[in-house]
Amino acid sequence: MYQHQFIDGRKIDLPLGKVVCVGRNYLEHIQELNNEVPNEPLLFIKPNTALCNLAEPIVIPKGVGSCHNELEIAILIGQRLNHCNEKQAKQSIIGVGLGLDLTLRDVQDRLKAKGQPWERAKSFDASCPISVFVQAQEIDIERNIEFSLSVNNTVRQQGNSAHMMHSILSLVENITKTFTLLPGDIVLTGTPKGVGPLNAGDDISVNLSQHFSVQTRVV
């Protein structure tokens, strides 16, 4: 059972909220999938039933085609935000971690071809494995945050928040002009290049530079 947690093991007394995800926030990822560059942040939502513990085995759905890794910086919100500015956004963040936006790529491609929403490809149960969180005061979200994902000891994704098209604080500000963010909500800030299929038996390692690493396995 997933619960928000700091890296020292302390549980975070916040409800499990929605996950607001940002698509196409790294140019090289946009290019690797031959997508158009959006004029503003591309947003979609995962429900709280998508949340699961990244340290536990990752379960991928069967019989629906490939399931891709998309590793992202995850921001845990601690205050209600509506039409906020960047200063208020920064004050609201209580934790920084990592999350996987598991994506059923074949399903997504079919939906996109028909002009239909992505939820069947992005928002299924356990589609959002989340790590522990570093306390906000221990990490400067306005500086470069480096993170990576390895599959079977081979680095597949390397990201740096400096390469985002929209910064973390500007994303939170932008999101709150459409969605009210509540305590316990998570913002996933986009994935860098290197997405690819996961298979049962794969060993996964994710790393938030200078803070923590998590080892897990695909089943």
Q: What domains can be seen in the chain, in order of their start residue?
A: 19-143+161-199 (3.90.850.10)
pLDDT at 33: 84
13 — phi, psi (to 5°)?
-80, 70
Give me the pLDDT at residue 185, please. 98
In the predicted structure, residue 122 carries a pLDDT above the cut 90: yes
With bands split at pLDDT 50, 70 and 90, how would you rate the model's confidence at 23? confident
Distance CA 201, CA 27 (A): 31
User: Distance from first CA to last CA of the chain, Å, rounded?
Assistant: 17
Q: What is the pTM of this model?
A: 0.96
